[in-house]
Every structure is written in C-alpha cells, then in structure tokens.
Amino acid sequence: MNTLDLAQKKVMLRKVSGTYGGEWQGPCPACGGENRFHVWPNQNEGRGSYWCRSCEKAGDNIQFLRDFDGMGFKEACDELGIDLPDRPAQDARPSTTGPKPPQQQAPPPFEPQESIPPADLWQEKAGKLIEWAHENLMKNVEVREWLAARGIDAKAASAARLGWNWGEPVTITDAQSPRSKDIYRARKSWGLPEVLKDDGRPKALWIPVGLVIPYIIDGIVYRIRIRRPEGEPRYYVLPGSSMATMIIGRDRRAYVIVESELDAIAVVANNTLAGAVALGSVSAKPDADAHAVLRGALQILNALDYGDEGGGAKAAEGAMTWWAEHFDRCDRWPTPQGKDVGEAYELGIDLEKWIRKGLPPALTIGMPQTAREAAPGGAIGRGADRSDRPVPDMPPALRELYDLLRKNPAVRIINSPGRFTVLRDGKYVGGRISELVFRTPGVTDYLLSHPAEEIDGGNFITGGRKGENHDNYR
C-alpha cells in the first residue's frame, strides 16, 4: 500500500493535478481542514509521499502509519509487508541495506500548468446559458442589491457577465418547493462524455439554481461557476469547465490575490491601481498564464483568507514562504476587517485606500483627469508640449526632483538591478539632484520601486494605466 491507499482509508481525497504521477488533496487525517493535505502516490519508488501544509506532517507510507496510526517503525513495516533484515550480532557491522526511517519529504518543485479551453460545443452551450442568465440578473433586483453590498455594482456585474439561473419553472402541482427547479440536461448535448449511475442509467448534467459566474478570456468561455443560494456545495463548477486561474486587469502592474471570482471582480471594480487574481481556493497555485502575469508584476498583495479551514496563521506563514520564493515583491495583505474582500466592503472598508497602502510609491502617483482630457479619446496628443501637461499632486521633494529632471533633460537616473546612480552624458551628477536621489528616503523609495531602469523627466511619473480615473489618488 502506498500513501494514497492509506490516506483514502481515513479521508476523502480528490485528484487535482497530473504532475509527478498525480497529486491528491483533502483534509488532513490529523488536523482536518478541507484541502491542506497533499499526497503524491508515485514518489519514493511507488511508496508515495504526503505533506500537510498546516501541521507539517510529511513522509512516505511507513511514516504515514507512524504519524496517523501511532505505529513504531517495525510495526509499520510489518503492516506494509516490508521485510527487515535480521538484527546483526553485537560485534557485527551494522547493516546498511535495510530500510531506514524516512526523512520528511519536501513538496516537489512547482511547475505551472497550462489551462486549455473547453470544447467548442460546450462553449456554445455555455455562451447561451451566460447570456440568458445575465438577462435574468438584470431583472433580479434582490440579487443585484446583494452584489452591490459586496462591492459589485451593475456596471461591474455586466462587465463580468454575471447572471442568475432561475432554473426550470415549477408546475402548480409540485407541492415540494415554491422555488424553481434545478436544470438537468443530457451530458452529451454539451459534448460531455457519458457517466453512468450505480443503477446503470446515464447521469444528467446538473445546472443548479444560483448566481452564474463565468470566466471569459478574449471571447472564449473557460468556466462557469455557480454560487447556490443554499445547500452544499455552495460553489459548483459546471462539468467541462477549465480550471484556468481568473485574471482581471491584465494590463495593470500590481495584483491582489484572492480566493473567489466575486472578490476579484470587487477588487477591480473598486480600485484604479491593481488587478486581481482569483485562485478558487487558498491552497491552489496559479496556472501558467497567471504565473507569467504575476512574474511581471511590480507588487503582489496576498489577501487570501487562511482561517480555520485554511490552516490559520501557520498555513499563512507557510503559504507566504512559497509565494516569496516564486514571486518578487509579494506581501501578505489581509483585509483590515472581514474574512475576505466582499465582507470587508460590507463592513465599510475603502478598498482603494486599503490597496494603495500596500503598493510602492511608483504605482500610487499617476496622471490626473485634466491630463487625459487634453486630447480626444482621453489620451494626450503626441505633439503636446510636456510643459503644458498638468501633473498630479505629490510630496514636495518628489515634485522638486521632477521639476529638476524636466529642466535638465540630459540627466538620467540609472535604476538597474546592479546600479543606482545619476548620470549626464555618462558622467556622475552631483548637486541638488543627487541629494534628493540618495539622501531623501521618500524619493529614494519611489525611485527604487520605479519600473524603468532609466528615469528622466519624461517617465518620472508612472503607475496605473492610460485612460484610468486618477481623481481619487490624492
């Protein structure tokens, strides 16, 4: 028996990845939770390995029996049918061929997975469901008010194509429920393989009543998740969906990591600085697409809720170790109140201010509204004189350096990984510019977090996106 065989006798596990011969997740046999326990059955020459990211128990099948069944080493080997060599005589040399108590196994290296869109027929059916459900939502005042209370107004709901599945109409003879019924369709009508029930009959595709949360990339439907108003599971992913990591605001330079798609939508709807990445669970990792986007970010704010089900403070610490190892400038950034973004908004937290506080100065100074109105389409004309362009409010020292750089266009602040200096035509620049750059902490911090490796009066002000509303930056 390997670790998967042993673990499945104690807890329910589900397969989450095919990497390294497969990975399973579920509750820990020792400390519980939902998906903090990881099993890789093909490691250790088929004995398997396991690791709990909360209580940090880890090992192979022998160690599993020692950790969770209280067995000694010899007893565990006997249980697994592993023959131990006879104990050597006192004057004999110790055997080195028999099995040894295993060392704790580190989790395998992370390799982000590519996410593949669903089949064409599934997308066609999903697209029709999304549009029908979206029309329903626009008529459902109660659900729209619930969304608005969690930071998703009608405009944001429409942009995300959120919808409401009314379900099938209930006949007057149905005395079981005054509500609509869940929808059931033949799986093959959506292009899904047939699945049989225990009695041999084909299983139908279940489309429950609830809030329809699609994930669409460039017009392609990757996923439909439904939030049910009651019952378990509360969140249901429609079979055939891709588990691609949701990314909103791909052209932004900072990202907030959250668990649910609704929180990601609320983040982007209520701030002009950061995008959002929704993982689906606190233990999930970004797919290849999201991994590439996050690698290019200037700041990542991890707002995942590591409550009791997520492993608590210990799990948060372990998770942040993983994030710090894989991404530069990633900080733990929980909401000031509430367990997630939606609850924080309900409690009156200003999401824009909360996010701003976690971002470097280079991302929090941007172009004001008056500058965007200087040319048609909200962009500044190419021929516009820089001296005529309004600039945002900024601390006095930053404004002074900005003015000096504009007056001295040949001066460059070199901000490369291996060099931080001020040059004019290849020669070091001293004076007031140098004093501001090197001896004024707020200015130095701003420059070090600036995305450009050469900074001058033309690109000194950065952050945000062209065309965004920066009126609330002050």
**Both structure tokens of 343:** 């609850």
CA-to-CA distance for 343 and 330, rounded, in angstroms? Answer: 23
Q: What pLDDT is attached to residue 429?
A: 85
Tell me the per-residue pLDDT of 26-53, one tens digit each, with 9 for 90 and over.
888 887 777 788 898 988 888 889 888 7
Q: What pLDDT is attached to residue 133?
A: 97
Helix axes 396-407, 431-439, angle to 10 degrees: 140
Q: What pLDDT is attached to residue 340?
A: 94
Q: What pLDDT is attached to residue 84?
A: 73
Q: What pLDDT is attached to residue 121?
A: 96
Q: Of all helices (H) and strands (E), which one includes residue 448?
A: helix 441-448
CA-to-CA distance for 382 and 369, rounded, in angstroms? Answer: 17
Q: What pLDDT is attached to residue 83?
A: 81
What is the Rg, in whole angstroms, of the alpha carbon atoms belonging to the chain? 28
Q: What pLDDT is attached to residue 470?
A: 29
Q: What pLDDT is attached to residue 281?
A: 84
pLDDT bucket at 435, cuts 50 / 70 / 90:
confident
CB 466 within 8 A of CB 367: yes
Share of the chain above pLDDT 90, in %: 42
CB 24 within 8 A of CB 7: yes
Lowest-confidence segment of 114-123, 171-180, 320-329, 374-383 by average pLDDT? 374-383
- Mean pLDDT, rounded, for 232-240: 92
Q: Is the pLDDT of residue 71 over 90?
A: no
Tell me the per-residue pLDDT of 318-370, one tens digit each, with 9 for 90 and over.
777 888 888 978 999 999 999 999 999 999 999 999 999 999 877 776 533 33
User: Which residue type is seen at 343?
Assistant: E
Length of the chain: 474
| Structure letter (DSSP) for residue 311 | T
CB 167 within 8 A of CB 216: no
Q: Is the pLDDT of residue 175 over 70?
A: no
| Structure letter (DSSP) for residue 93 | P
CB 284 within 8 A of CB 278: no
CA-to-CA distance for 254 and 464, rounded, in angstroms? Answer: 9
Lowest-confidence segment of 294-308, 335-349, 384-398 by average pLDDT? 384-398
- Mean pLDDT, rounded, for 277-293: 91
Higher pLDDT, 373 or 96: 96
Residues whose CB is less than 8 angstroms from the CB of residue 375 and which lie 6 or more positions away in sequence, other chains included: 381, 384
Higher pLDDT, 467 or 53: 53
| DSSP secondary structure letters along 211-249 | EEEEEEETTEEEEEEEE-SSSS-SEEEPTT---PPEEE-
pLDDT bucket at 99, cuts 50 / 70 / 90:
low
Q: What pLDDT is attached to residue 158?
A: 94
Three-class DSSP category at 377: helix
Side-chain-side CA neighbours of 314 within 13 Å: the count stands at 12
Domains contained in the chain, CATH given: 3-80 (3.90.580.10), 110-244 (3.90.980), 249-359 (3.40.1360.10), 369-473 (no CATH)
> What is the C-alpha end-to-end distance of the chain, expressed in Å?
63
- Mean pLDDT, rounded, for 149-162: 96
User: Which residue type is seen at 116?
Assistant: I
Other CB atoms closer than 10 Å to residue 275's CB: what's the count? 22
Share of the chain above pLDDT 70, in %: 81
**Both structure tokens of 68:** 């969770």
pLDDT bucket at 375, cuts 50 / 70 / 90:
very low
Count of helix runs (H) and strand runs (E) in the chain: 15, 20
Tell me the sheet residues that pair with 297. none
Q: Is the pLDDT of residue 23 over 70?
A: yes
- Mean pLDDT, rounded, for 300-313: 73
CA-to-CA distance for 181 and 169, rounded, in angstroms? Answer: 6
- Residue-averaged pLDDT of the chain: 82
Note the helical H segments in 95-173. 120-139, 141-149, 154-159
| Alpha-carbon 170 to chain mean position | 39
CA-to-CA distance for 394 and 402, rounded, in angstroms? Answer: 10
Between CA 242 and CA 249, with CA 248 as vertex, the angle to 5 degrees is: 145
CA-to-CA distance for 107 and 441, rounded, in angstroms? Answer: 40
